[in-house]
Amino acid sequence: MLVAGIKSRPEYKGIDIDPHAKRHLFVLEGEGALALIERAEGDAGFLQKAEILYLPAGSAAQDHDMALAALGADIFWKAPTLQPLMFRLRACLESATMGTRIYISGTEGFIGQIVQVTLDFGVDFNSLKTEHRGSLARRVQCVHCKGITDCVTTSPVICTHCGLPLLVRDHYSRRLGAFQGVNIDAEEPGTAPEPEEIFP
C-alpha cells in the first residue's frame, strides 16, 4: 500500500555534533535522549555550551531525564507536556544567536512538530540535525477535512475528525509535519480493508 521512493519522505541523518558551533540546542523526546547520551560518551565537553529541552514520552521502560541531567549541560529542562516544551523552544529561538546549532531526536511526529517551529523562526531546514528514535507511529493529516491524527500505527486508519477511513501515504508535508491520509474507499464506501499495523 505504501509507495517506495517518494521524495518528500523525511531522512534523518543523525545528530552529529558540530565542533564549530557557538551554542548547542538539543530538543529531545523519549528515546531520543539516547541519541545525545551515546554521543556524549567519552567527550561531553560540548555540553558546557548546550541547552537540553527534554520531553519524557514513548515506549521507553524508563525516562532518561536522570542520565541527561547527569551529562552536565549548561541548561537542562524537563517538560511536563509538549505545549510547554514548544513555548520554551520558541523562547530559546527568539534569543538564539548566529552559530547556534539545533539537534532534534525522538519520534517522527515529534521531529516534524519541532521542525515546524524552527522554520517559523527562519532556521534553514538543511542546518537542522535530526535523528529518529522510538516508535514509528505517524502524525497524519486527512486531506479531506484537514484534521490531524497523532500516533497512527495502522493503515488504513479512521480519521479522528471526520470519520473517513484513510490510507496513510508515504507523502510527507514538511509544512504540516505530517503524512497525508486519503479516503481509501471513496469509490465504494464501506469496502475499506481491515487496519493493519504498519508503523509500530
Confidence of residue 106 (pLDDT cuts 50, 70, 90): very high
Mean predicted confidence (pLDDT) in 57-75: 82
Residue 7 has what pLDDT? 61
Q: What is the CA radius of gyration of the chain?
A: 18
Question: Residue 54 domain-assigned?
Answer: yes
Instruction: Give all strands (DSSP E) within the chain, no chain letters.
Output: 23-29, 50-55, 75-78, 100-106, 129-132, 138-142, 148-152, 154-155, 157-158, 165-173, 178-183, 196-197
Question: Residue 9 domain-assigned?
Answer: no
Question: Residue 119 domain-assigned?
Answer: yes
At which of 94, 112, 132 does a domain end?
Answer: 132
Mean predicted confidence (pLDDT) in 177-196: 92
Shared domain check, 189 and 91:
no
Structural domain tally of the chain?
2
pLDDT tens digits along 46-61: 999 999 999 998 655 4
User: Smallest Cα–Cα separation from 123: which of 106, 98, 88, 105?
Assistant: 98
Residue 84 has what pLDDT? 98
Mean pLDDT of the chain: 91
Shared domain check, 42 and 128:
yes
User: Smallest Cα–Cα separation from 29: which of 71, 60, 61?
Assistant: 60
Question: Residue 66 domain-assigned?
Answer: yes
Question: Residue 30 domain-assigned?
Answer: yes
Confidence of residue 40 (pLDDT cuts 50, 70, 90): very high
pTM confidence score? 0.88
Shared domain check, 85 and 38:
yes
Shared domain check, 162 and 188:
yes
Is the confidence at residue 4, as pLDDT, over 70?
no
In this structure, what CATH number is given to the domain that contains residue 36? 3.40.50.80
Question: Residue 4 domain-assigned?
Answer: no
Question: Residue 63 domain-assigned?
Answer: yes
Question: Residue 103 domain-assigned?
Answer: yes
For 34, other C-beta atoms within 10 Å of its C-beta total: 18
At which of 107, 132, 157 does a domain end?
Answer: 132
Shared domain check, 120 and 150:
no
Write out the residue range of the structural domain in which residue 28 sits.
23-132
> Are the beta carbons of 140 and 157 closer than 8 angstroms?
yes
Mean predicted confidence (pLDDT) in 21-28: 97
